């Protein structure tokens, strides 16, 4: 059975008791605000805003020339981004390898043209090559053929480092360089001939005689293309 109905006074008294208890919230309280960012973060944001402001103005200036069509803007911004990535790639490749060049797919040339250009690039300066041969000849004249051939090997490595700086590294051996794919076939064959004689001398305990010295000298002369400046 339902209990007796409450009078208005009883209802009002119960409401006052409920509000006085504090267990139920009747008033809306504003949520506490987020604490302000630290000073260093605020300063960093202001600095970035100042630094990147010219970039934003530049992008807005480029966007002012674009049509209003959204798909056209997406296409044009994609092309600009691709061009920026290409320029970045070229700069990074220049820092790594020491030469300015386009990506491989933009440098397609005939095999004969590439080989001819590489062979021409292998001609070292005449005066240093002549001086190196004279130094090696002086050692050979004293019967120090092993030192003379080793001298030519070191000078050949210097030629390689000057012509192909991306290939020659301190940790590579002469055998590694002789098998490097970035070296044209003719210089690689001549270099391998000199390196093989030095390797047999240093690690095989075999002395170098006048005949082997003569072959190595001739190989270095061809390697340095001495015929272009000496009789």
Q: Read off the pLDDT band of 120 (50, 70, 90).
A: very low
pLDDT tens profile 183-217: 777 777 888 888 888 888 877 778 888 888 888 88
Neighbours of 202 (CB within 10 A): 13
pLDDT tens profile 82-112: 888 888 888 887 777 666 666 665 444 444 4
Cα separation values, 230 from 64, 130, 162, 190, Å: 64, 8, 22, 19
Give buried/exposed letters for 147-180 (b at 16+ CB in 10 A, else e).
ebbbbbbebbbebbeebbeebbeeeeebeebbee
Q: How far apart are CA 20 and CA 99, in angstroms?
A: 84
Half-sphere exposure of 14 (CA within 13 A, CB side): 6
Give the single-character DSSP code of 37: P
Q: Read off the pLDDT band of 225 (50, 70, 90).
A: low
pLDDT of 153 higher than 80: yes
The tokens of 57 are what?
């103005």
Contacts of 73 (CB under 8 A, 6+ apart): 63, 66, 67
The tokens of 109 are what?
């040339």
Contacts of 19 (CB under 8 A, 6+ apart): 26
Q: Read off the pLDDT band of 16 (50, 70, 90).
A: confident
């Amino acid at each position: 059975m339902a209990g007796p109905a409450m009078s208005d006074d009883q209802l009002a008294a119960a409401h006052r008791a409920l509000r006085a208890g504090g267990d139920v919230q009747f008033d809306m309280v504003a949520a506490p605000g987020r604490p302000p960012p630290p000073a260093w973060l605020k300063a960093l944001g202001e600095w970035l805003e100042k630094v990147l402001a010219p970039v934003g103005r530049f992008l807005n200036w480029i966007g002012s020339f674009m049509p209003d069509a959204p798909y056209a803007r997406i296409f044009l911004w994609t092309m600009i981004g691709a061009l920026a990535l290409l320029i970045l790639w070229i700069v990074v490749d220049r820092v790594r390898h020491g030469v300015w060049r386009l990506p491989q797919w933009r440098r397609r040339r005939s095999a004969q043209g590439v080989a001819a250009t590489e062979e021409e690039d292998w001609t070292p300066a005449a005066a240093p090559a002549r001086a190196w041969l004279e130094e090696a000849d002086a050692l050979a004249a004293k019967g120090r053929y092993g030192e003379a051939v080793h001298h030519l090997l070191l000078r050949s490595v210097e030629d390689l480092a000057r012509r192909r700086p991306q290939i020659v590294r301190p940790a590579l051996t002469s055998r590694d360089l002789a098998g490097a794919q970035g070296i044209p076939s003719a210089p690689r064959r001549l270099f391998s001939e000199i390196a093989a004689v030095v390797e047999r001398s240093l690690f095989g305990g075999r002395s170098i005689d006048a005949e082997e010295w003569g072959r190595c000298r001739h190989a270095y002369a061809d390697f340095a293309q001495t015929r272009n400046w000496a009789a």
